[in-house]
Amino acid sequence: MRKNFAMQKLYYSISEVSKITDLEQYVLRYWETEFEQLKPAKNLAGNRIYTNKDIKLILLIKKLLRDEKYTIEGAKKILKSYLQKEDKKSGISLYREGENVSQANKSGELKLFKSDEMEKDNKKDKLKNDLKELRNFLSNLLEELE
């Protein structure tokens, strides 16, 4: 059962993701060790911060393992193939910039980038979109506080 939160956030804590996905926190931590695609960033305090994309990935993993009864190895193969198809469709890679998926990024940051190098205009557009999303988030937060 998927829980519906009224306001979407930019980042979620592990406890929030646990509630959203109906999974224990230790399961989320374990899946990070098993699925190379699941690498939430960490904030300055060292706490995991999950994006909406991370949550979608977790729900997909949960579906593969719990509903469709795949083994972890089988789910890894399906997930890898699924994400490669999505990359080709969108032209955007879920891989870390300049790295293979299997290589760990020490900072834990996941960067989205176009498969052929981003131009300055694309960077400006992405920044604008990020700022708009942040503005919407802050305005929703202010509305809730009032």
**Cα-Cα end-to-end distance for the chain:** 31
pTM for the model stands at 0.56
Q: What's the pLDDT tens digit per position in 71-115?
A: 999 999 998 888 777 766 655 444 433 333 333 333 444 444 443
Q: What's the pLDDT tens digit per position in 20-77?
A: 999 999 999 999 999 999 999 999 999 999 999 999 999 999 999 999 999 999 999 9
Extract the tokens encoding 27: 């399961």
- What φ, ψ does residue 22 adopt, rounded to 5°? 60, 40
Domains and CATH numbers, the chain: 14-115 (1.10.1660.10)
If one counts every other C-beta atom within 10 angstroms of the C-beta of residue 72, the result is: 13
